[in-house]
Amino acid sequence: MNILDKIVADKRQEVALRKSLIPIKQLEQSVLFTRETKSLAAALQASTSGIIAEHKRRSPSKSVINHNLNVFDVAKGYQDAGVCGMSVLTDGKYFGGSLDDLLTARASCDLPLLRKEFIIDTYQIIEAKAYGADVILLIAAILTREEIKTFSEFAKSLNIDVLLEVHNEEELQKSLMPSLDMLGVNNRNLKTFDVSLEISRDLSTLIPNDFVKVSESGISTVEAIKSLQPFGYKGFLIGENFMKTDNAGASATKFINTLNQ
């Protein structure tokens, strides 16, 4: 069993428990459930930098990244830096995140928020909306084509943007459908955790232009972004680079200023 299989097995148990504790009706009565969502895809298309900055305390590959930064300051700092959107890890067991992090981020910034999660059930999409997310992540490696279709169409019915993540050509081919807004290429192999920007370059020509192209993982320099822009990438998810510092917002500001020079 690789780490991804393990995470998904744990996630099925976690979601079953959450469903038994908090009914869908209760989630739908949340104040945030009726708020108008903001499109991350539109923000990326209009941007010159395309940065999606992440709040992430730890990960299975790096263990602790930063437990000292609070979500409120990070979200505010990212907004001041001029990022296009913010990604919030809500998985507790492997990444140290929670849905409360999403709530806090929503209360402290006006950015499009991505719920970064291992989604295996429509219940989690309702949760995302109830806790203030504008975008969900779907991971092709853990979903069938039918599940991708069901989840993405359901998200669209709630006015939530969909970022679909792929790692190889096979995942990409099974996933292409009109209910997706963005196609993310993860440069990290989720089974081995090796990182290579070549994955983004290789898959770029196979992604139709109807989708906003996003490159994820292993992006830590301005040069990396500049090397991917000619391949049509408009979005760049930066997870650990800003979170490794004492001030994620200031780090993002410096990065974007350098990028836009």
Catalytically active residues, by annotation: 54, 56, 116, 165, 186, 216-217
Per-residue b/e over 170-205, b at no fewer than 16 CB within 10 Å?
ebbeebbeebbbbbbbbbbbbeeeebebebbbebbe
Q: How far apart are CA 172 and CA 184, in angstroms?
A: 10
Residue pair 131/99 in contact by the 8 Å Cβ criterion: yes
- CA–chain centroid gap for 38, Å, is 14
First to last CA, the chain: 46
Look at the block and give the residue holding tokens 């910034």: 109
Residues 6+ apart with CB under 8 A from 153: 179
- For residue 153, give both structure tokens: 């169409």
What is the widest separation between alpha-carbon atoms in the chain? 52
- For residue 30, give both structure tokens: 């949340």
